[in-house]
Structures are given as structure tokens and as C-alpha cells.
Structure 1
Amino acid sequence: MSEFSSEWLALREPADAAARAEELLEPLRKRLRTPLHIRDLGSGTGSMVRWLAPRLPGPQHWTLHDRDPALLAVAAERCPGVVSTVHGDVTSLCAADLAGTSLVTASALLDLLTAEEVSALATACSGLPALLTLSVVGEVDLDPADPLDAELTAAFNAHQRRVVQGRRLLGPDSVAVAAEAFGAHGATVEVAASDWRLDGEQAALTAEWLTGWVAAAVEREPRLAEAARRYLCERLAAAAAGELRVVVRHRDLLALPPG
């Protein structure tokens, strides 16, 4: 399953909703004035709209930005009358593109960006509130533990920091880099945990996440391949039996401009 397929996004949406840091919403609500125009970057099928819109006041219009037109089509169908869509690369946005915006949001986006792209995003958002959620921080807890957990975690984190077409991704470093970048523009930055907590009730999501996590780790460290096959087989069996618990640690970041 593709990381960005509509099926994967649908599978993860309940875990995302349960994980998001609601404590960041109260200071955000105090800074917003209705009606709201919210821009969601890397929006996928609109999961942020479905979670956040009922938690914000007043009339709202959402503009969803994504590079995948198929995902935008799903979002428009699932959120009729609430959203408009923009097809394109969110890393090219500038302050002029965000004119008239009340709030910028994103989910699971920062760790896919470079330091330069995060800096440009902070510059574009200067003077605007931004709520950037569900960024990985490179920490995974599995219960019961396995001796291979630490090696796979390290290999996966290295994979997340890989160079793609000349772009060095931030991966688990993204929250710290973003906090510094937004702070440099005078924003007050608050970070809160938004961890996935998976058990037998999310067995399908656990299985998909495990499969992708191990595959990325082995891609980075091929020497782990044989041991990883054993590991994945045992872990998938435990997940199917409801005997595996996983915590995938994420962070949400709220940046509020001065005043």
C-alpha cells in the first residue's frame, strides 16, 4: 500500500484523530477571528478538515493544497461546500499565496521536508497562526520488546533522513527545526505529544505500519534483511492475535505570531 494512497490515509485517520494534541486548540481559538479561511497543506483526503472544523468557531472555508489530484478529488467529495482545492507543490508557496488566510494547517508533512523548505514555510506563514501536526520524532515503543527493535528504529530514522532527488529530508529532526524557524519570525511555539497508541483494536493499521516500517529500515540497511523477515513474521502474527502494542511517537506544533 502506498504511503499516500487513499486507502492508507483512511486506515490511519482514526489513529490520527485520537492522537492529535487537543490541548493546543484553546490558545489557538483565542487568536482566531471569524469567518475563518484555513489552508491545509499536503491535505490528502481532508482528514484535518474532518477533525479540526468541528473544533473551531464560526463559519469556515478550507483551501486544501496537495500534489495528488486523486486525493483532492476524494477530499472535495467528502467535504462538499466546505473546501476548495489547489493542485500543486506546497513547498513553492509564498506569503502572497497565503493572503487572506486565518490559519495554516498540515498533518504528517514536516518530516517530508528539507530544512530549507521548512524555513521557507515559516517565512510564508509569518504573521499567521500555524498548526502542524503528527510529525514523527524517531521514537517507537513495542511491547513485548525484541532485540531487533533498536536496530530497526535506527535504520528507519536514517531512511527518513535520506536524500531524495537532491533534497535531504528532515525526518525525525523536523519538529526541532520548525520550532526554531517559526521562532526566528517572532512566533510563540508550543509543542505537544500526539502519539499513535496501537493495540489489537487497530490490528490492520499496525500490520500496515509494521510492514512499511521494516521495509524502509531494510532498504536503508540491507544487512538486516534476513533477521527482519523473521522479525516481521513474528510481529505480524502477534498483531493479528492482539498481543502487540505499539506507540509511535509524534509531535504537534502550534506557532502563534506576536500579538
Structure 2
Amino acid sequence: MTESATTTQHGGTVPVPPGSREVIPGAGPAPRPGERATLRLRDTGDDEPVRYAPEWLRLREPADATARSYDLLDPLRIRLANPPRRADGLVIHDIGCGTGSMGRWLAPRLDGAQHWVLHDRDPYLLHFAAVASPRSAADGSHVTVETRRGDVARLTSDALAGASLVTASALLDVLTREEVGALAAACAGAGCPALLTLSVAGRVELTEPHPLDREITEAFNAHQRRGGLLGPDAVTVAAEAFAEHGATVRIDPSPWRLGPGEAALTEQWLRGWVGAAVEERPELAARADGYLAERLEACAAGELRVAVRHSDLLALCRPVDGAA
């Protein structure tokens, strides 16, 4: 990647600071206005840039798996065990599945036969997801998968007919209020619960504290809201949208806690985080360059620890006739 290249984090493009090392696509900020970058992830031959590289998704997968809320699994299991329940097992729709990390985390934690429907706009990532999908549930029951290219904006209750569960990871914060409303309406119309994990919460803590931490955080959060995207407001908006449809909603924290063992992920995250802040507030550039260099030096020395706050949401929509 050259000095004039761009990178992406949670879906969009931002300039890579001059002199910086290459950033994996996926590690930098928000999408272009009007573009649902989570579901349009890779070059499809129409001059669109790469949105998420499998390398970035693999890099973050262990941190994602550790961060997701285990406390939401018990109420979810209770709901899935109660009737109405499909005789042939659970049908789980994974929206914006990427390389399928959500299925690899969740399928082995649920009992019973499962059929996963993996949705993404990127056929390249769908291939990764299908090949690396889990084959057995917690009790040894069989797990099968199918893939569908699709756009969350077109998701309807008809598309979710017969679904037992809708899942997504790192999705809500790159949607608009209207798209989140449509997702909630689709789940409610299908009568299925939704487990929506790892939405950014807009809070970051780094050790040792630095005077620029707050300014970088505020600028990054503003960047996440570009083009009407929800960014750190996503979980609150989603909770309200599901509640309006009569769902019982629970929110749990799911922070990344990054230390010396996650140095590669921390480095990529830092570059994207600071790069987005500078794109939003160019007047930060001179100070941010030294800030980034200092933080990267501490990361390389094993001295930096970062908590990146996320939230997980479980929405238990009311069952409807014929719902799983």
C-alpha cells in the first residue's frame, strides 16, 4: 500500500497517514454516505474498493469471541427450547456474516440440529464462511449451512419466514435508523429473536491515559455517524425499535480487552481509529501523528492495554403463528 492509499474500518475508506505501515482493509472507518458497507464488502468488478479483507476478519475473530456476552445465551437458549419449535431443528439467519465467525462461535453453544443461512453481499467472503462453518452443535447434532447474497435493506419478514433466530456481528453501527427499523420489523414480523453483537459503544480506554484520548474518541465517533449512520448510537436505537414491536430487549457489554497477546490487532485498530479521527477533524493531524507513534511504540513494547467498548443486544420478539 502506498502513502496515498486508503483503508477501512467498520466499512469505509480513510487515507492512510503518510509513512504508515500497511493497514489491512477492514481496520479503518465508516462507509460512503448511502452505502451499506458491511454487506458490500469486496471488489465486485465495478471499481468499488475492498471493504473487508478476510485477514482483518480473522485477526479480530479471537477478540470478538472473547468479548461476546455469554450472559445472553441462557435467555436465548430458553426461548429456543420453548415451542413453537421446528421438528427439524433451528434455522438461524446470520446477516452480514463475513467469514462466518458468528456461526463458529454460536453454533457449538446451542443444542440441537441447526441450519444456518449466511447472508452477505460478498461472494468471496460467503465462500470462506461456508467452507469454515461448524459441523456440529453443543450436543453433537448436525449443523448445515447455505449462503445467500443479500442486502439488509431488503430484508423482510417473508425472507425470515420459518427462522428460529437472526444473528449479526459488528453490523448495527454501520446501519441507518431506517435500516435498523426495517431489521426490527422483519424479525418481529417473523416472530424470531435477534442476537446482535459487538456494536461500537463510542468509548475507549487506553493505558496510560493521554491528553488526546478524548479528542480522538470524539472525532472517531463523529466519523462513525457520517452519512446518517448510527455509529455509537446504534444499540440505543435498535433497542427502541425492537421494543416498539413488543420485543423484550436486553443489552450487555462486550468489550475488546487488548493486551500484549493481541498486539497485531491493537496495531491495526489504532491505525484505523486515529485515521478516522483525523479524516473527521483534519486539524488534529499534526498532534495525532505523534500520538499514534507513541501508542504504537507502547504496543510494540507490550506496554499498551486497550478496552474498546461494544454492546450486545438480545431482542426476544413475540412468537407468531408458524414461527420457529
- TM-score (normalised: structure 1): 0.97
Q: Does 1:91 align with 2:91?
A: no
Counterpart contact for 2:192–2:318, Cα < 8 Å? no
Deviation at 1:258, TM superposition (A): 3.1
* 3-state secondary structure, aligned to 1:242: coil
Q: Does 1:70 align with 2:124?
A: yes
Q: 2:223 aligns with which of 141, 159, 168?
A: 159
- Between 142-151 and 81-90, report the one with greater CA deviation: 81-90
**Unpaired stretches in structure 2, ≥5 consecutive residues:** 1-23, 27-51, 136-142, 320-324
Q: Does 1:60 align with 2:86?
A: no
Distance in structure 2 (CA, Å) of the matches to 1:233 and 1:82: 46
* 3-state secondary structure, aligned to 1:39: strand
Distance in structure 2 (CA, Å) of the matches to 1:245 and 1:104: 33
2:212 partner amino acid: L
| Paired position in structure 2 for 1:119 | 181
| Paired position in structure 1 for 2:237 | 177
Residues 221-252 of structure 1 deviation map (CA, whole Å, 9 limit, x = unaligned): 00001111111111111001110010000000
Distance in structure 2 (CA, Å) of the matches to 1:123 and 1:226: 45
* 3-state secondary structure, aligned to 1:212: helix
The structure that is strand-richer by fraction is 1
Q: 1:207 aligns with which of 259, 267, 270?
A: 267
- Between 225-234 and 30-39, report the one with greater CA deviation: 30-39
Residues 146-175 of structure 1 deviation map (CA, whole Å, 9 limit, x = unaligned): 100000000000000001xxxx10000000
Corresponding pairs, count:
255
Alignment of 1:187-202 (within 5 A): 187-202=247-262
* 3-state secondary structure, aligned to 2:126: helix
Q: CA RMSD in A?
A: 1.0
Deviation at 1:122, TM superposition (A): 0.4
| Paired position in structure 2 for 1:40 | 94
- TM-score (normalised: structure 2): 0.77
Distance in structure 2 (CA, Å) of the matches to 1:19 and 1:137: 13
The structure that is helix-richer by fraction is 1
Distance in structure 1 (CA, Å) of the matches to 2:257 and 2:297: 18
Distance in structure 2 (CA, Å) of the matches to 1:86 and 1:240: 40
Q: Segments of 4+ in structure 1 off by > 2 A?
A: none
Counterpart contact for 1:140–1:249, Cα < 8 Å? yes
Residues 153-202 of structure 1 deviation map (CA, whole Å, 9 limit, x = unaligned): 00000000001xxxx10000000000000000000000000000001010
Deviation at 1:92, TM superposition (A): 1.1
| Paired position in structure 1 for 2:36 | none
1:91 partner amino acid: A
* 3-state secondary structure, aligned to 2:249: strand
Distance in structure 1 (CA, Å) of the matches to 2:93 and 2:147: 10
Q: 1:17 aligns with which of 36, 59, 65?
A: 65
| Paired position in structure 1 for 2:295 | 235
